Chain A
Amino acid sequence: MALVLSEDAQLVRDQALDFFREKSPILALRKLRDSADPTGFSRELWREMADLGWTGFLVSEDAGGSGFGMVGLGQVLEAAGRTLAASPLISTALIGASALDIAGTPAQKSAYLTSLLSGDTITALASEEGSHHNPAAVAATARPSADGWVLDGRKTFVLDGHVATLLIVSARTAAGITLFLVPAATQGVTITRRLMADSRNAALVTLANVHLPAGALLGTDGGGTALLDRLLDRARVGLAAEMLGSACEAFDRTVQYLKDRKQFGVPIGSFQALKHRAAVLFAEIEVTRSAVLAALTALDEGAADAAALASLAKAKANATLNLASSEGVQMHGGIGMTDEHEIGFFLKRSRVAEITFGSTGFHRDRYAALNGY
């Protein structure tokens, strides 16, 4: 496993950096927020992303994708993180595409995959039930019915839930945790948008006596834990890549401010207290970049330690973006506390992203468990 970007991956990175910088600067997120946009992202831009092939990176070629893989998608996500771009990249291009590609039956693929690739179908993973990430804590139930399944339950933190047309729901059957494909329009499904500090999409989903056909089962009955683990590991690493981009951007802006802002007649960047903290942050970002690239690569290669590397990458990205966003605000002084300045957006995004798919503590503990302690 060589930790270098291929030329193809570099091209994708450069293209994505230009794309987000030009079409989705932080100003775009501010506008979505201030206009209380009902969608929470730009559908037009999402279609452009689909046209660039990003929805198909995790879909195999015979199913209509490019199979370019996690390293490639990671470059797109990192670039999106730089401008805090809101989009269904993670909910759909990453989780939804993976779920269908890995576990979908031919019927499920033909029903959803083509429209996912074109940007029409938005998917959302509905697995969390509490306020802390815990894919094993599933109280939602799925009972067999004459012609399929009946689902009941409540899901608390469903990314892109209110815009999704297709939900991927975890529920407990007699055989254990199992995943189901639930069209959002199914009777008994109620979706309520939740407004989060980062102005990104999340929703509460309740399922009351939701009747599904037998073909709604994703993967095998009772096979949800293993499948969810695979999907979540991709999601964790993809999000870590996005967070790396956000950390880099917050850091670059802060270093620039240290050079521009003068106090006591000198740039504040000449004060050693600030220099050292900036240098520490530089080091943390470098090691986070290595962890993220190693995890992306391990997922593509199906390496034995991919799960441990996923936890490593998410734990590191959490800690580093937390530091970069906190230091960013502090080193900007009063202006950093204003809504008008953009540095505060990184702080708000950071804390939501940190708890998404597992906090730092969750991943330290998982890393320990995976390493035998």
Chain B
Amino acid sequence: MSLAAFRTETRAWLQDNCPPLMRTPAPADETVWGGRNPTWKHPEQKLWMDRMAARGWTLPTFPKQYGGGGLSLEQAEILGEEMRALGCRAPLQGMGQTMLAPVLLEYGTEAQKQEHLPQIIRGEIRWCQGYSEPGAGSDLAGLQSRAVLQGDHFLVNGHKIWTSNAHYADKIFCLVRTDPTAKKHEGISFLLIDMAQPGVRARPIRLISGASVFCETFIENVQVPRENLLGELNKGWTIAKRLLEHERKSIGGIGDRAGGLANTPAWELAKLHAGEQDGRIADPALRQDIAAYAIDAAAFQLTRKRAADEAQAGRPPGPMSAMFKYYGTELNKRRYEMVLAAEGVQGVGWEGDDFSADELRWTREWLRSKANTIEGGTSEVQLNIIAKRVLGLPD
């Protein structure tokens, strides 16, 4: 099928199948995560997820044999464009899709792919990420959780922290130390662990935004079947790093996602709250700040486009992708700072009827945005990586 025909057909299908409510911006608490015990605010959420999953379009470029959409990159781009044009919500989100699925496809055995990929694509299993530990954050390879191979299973004991959504997740992909005598990067393995068993416990931690999106996760004397080892024994670090690349890509792209805020730019809020004069933001200092942010944001979007265009033209990947996570997350923080600056008093409300639901939500989202430059490798760690890998500066 030609790309033009694909576009026509896709547009028609989306028109027919995307419920009207799913064409409105999704508030943060209406993200669809799937899993064994999903929560639905509206039946349309499930309908939309199921319809998209049936076509494999929750992971459009994944092979059909594992339930994916089997689309080419160009087709997937068209699907994305058509979904944006119609204002479609993401039918399903989560670490299973964005992080685990790509490394499963790359490193998994046939049996592992057959088992896990369809469950991720259909939204049946919700995954969380067991990387960080109290003593191992930026220095991730210093992790101490242990797994000992005992015949056909591993015996796992460990303590993970900052595990996002562990209290809702069904399974956790975990980095564990399997050879304590090897050098620190060489004794790590990558395990897939079902959380529905005694010995796995997730304790929510309250954030500055008041919400609890991450947990401390305890794993005590848990038996994990040997076939849940992804990749080779003691070779987990390579997979861990590859997964981080996928994670950074998705966090770096955080600004493009159509959240509620994306549709209300800071300049509109500034006109509303700081006044309008001759069609412009009345406060010239605020106007300059917002424009400075908007220019950087636009230049960053153009950089993502340039990288994609170069890849499509078959050019070797340039070094620029190394800065995506750093730049994208710093921008997202600035975006919320601009919203706050634009709203004035209305931007720092905490609760009560004298603030709109959006205003209250943005206060929390502003706080949440601070994590963007910490999670998935801090900005400082990203700058270390650029200095070393791209610029070749000495240790």
Interface positions of A (Cβ within 8 A of B): 2-4, 255, 258-259, 266-267, 269-270, 272, 274-276, 278-280, 282-283, 286-291, 293-294, 311-312, 315-316, 361, 364-365, 367-369, 371-373
Contacts and interface: CB of A to CB of B under 8 A. Distances in A.
Interface in B268-322: 268, 270-271, 279-281, 284, 287-288, 290-292, 294-296, 298-300, 302-303, 305-306, 309-310, 312-313, 315, 319-320
A178 B61 CA distance: 56
Contacts of B291: 364-365, 367-368, 371, 373
B127 to A, nearest CB: 31
A369 B390 contact: no
Contact of A287 (B290, B312, B327, B395): B327
A4 B306 contact: yes
B394 A269 contact: yes
Contact of A369 (B270, B280, B315, B327): B280
B303 A290 contact: yes
A364 to B, nearest CB: 4
Contacts of B295: 291, 311-312, 315-316, 364, 367
B380 interface: yes
Contacts of B281: 368, 373
Given A312-B295, A369-B280, A373-B270, A270 B302 contact: no
B47 interface: no
A316 B313 CA distance: 26
Contacts of A283: 323, 326-327, 386
Interface string B377-394: 000101110110011111
A287 B303 contact: yes
Given A259-B394, A373-B281, A286 B288 contact: no
A290 B393 contact: no
A275 B387 contact: yes
Contacts of A293: 302, 306
Given A270-B393, A367-B294, A372-B267, A312 B306 contact: no
A282 B394 contact: no
Interface string B318-354: 0110010011000000000000000000000000000
A275 B309 CA distance: 29
A368 B282 CA distance: 12
Contacts of A372: 267, 279
A111 B395 CA distance: 62
Nearest to A320: B299
Contacts of A367: 291, 294-295
Given A287-B327, A373-B270, A373-B280, A275 B383 contact: yes
- Interface of A (DSSP majority class): helix
A291 B313 CA distance: 19
A367 B291 CA distance: 7
A255 B388 CA distance: 12
B306 A3 contact: yes
Given A312-B295, A316-B299, 4 more contacts: A270-B393, A282-B386, A283-B327, A373-B290
13 contacts: A267-B394, A275-B383, A276-B383, A279-B382, A282-B319, A286-B320, A291-B299, A316-B295, A368-B288, A372-B279, A373-B267, A373-B271, A373-B287
Contacts of B393: 255, 258-259, 267, 269-270, 274-275, 278
B302 A287 contact: yes
Contacts of B299: 287-288, 290-291, 312, 316
A371 B267 contact: yes
**Most chain A CB inside 10 Å of its own CB: which residue of B295, B298, B383:** B295
B343 to A, nearest CB: 15
Given A279-B391, A371-B267, A3 B294 contact: no
Contacts of B268: 373
Nearest to A366: B291
B313 A368 contact: no
Contact of A361 (B288, B306, B320, B391): B288
Contacts of B326: 279, 283
A259 B320 CA distance: 21
B294 A371 contact: yes
A280 B279 CA distance: 35
B302 A290 contact: yes
B305 A3 contact: yes
A294 B394 contact: no
Given A290-B299, A368-B287, A282 B391 contact: yes
A190 B357 CA distance: 65
Contacts of A287: 296, 299-300, 302-303, 327
Given A266-B394, A279-B387, A373-B287, A4 B302 contact: no
Counting chain A CB atoms within 10 Å of each CB, the highest count among B291, B305, B383, B390 belongs to: B291
Contacts of B310: 3-4
A280 B383 contact: yes
Given A282-B390, A372-B279, A3 B288 contact: no
Nearest to B278: A369
Nearest to A266: B394
A322 to B, nearest CB: 13
Which of B296, B299, B327 has the most chain A CB within a 10 Å cutoff?
B299
B394 A270 contact: yes
Contact of B383 (A279, A288, A315): A279
A132 B10 CA distance: 52
B291 to A, nearest CB: 4
Contact of B302 (A267, A278, A294, A373): A294
A84 to B, nearest CB: 23
A97 B201 CA distance: 72
Contact of B292 (A266, A269, A288, A364): A364
A65 to B, nearest CB: 27
Nearest to A305: B298
Q: Which of A2, A290, A312 is packed against the most chain B CB atoms within 10 Å?
A: A290
A36 B16 CA distance: 74
A276 B327 contact: no
Nearest to B331: A287
Nearest to B301: A290
A263 to B, nearest CB: 13
A31 to B, nearest CB: 32
Q: Most chain-B Cβ atoms within 10 A of its Cβ — which of A255, A280, A287?
A: A287
A373 B299 CA distance: 19
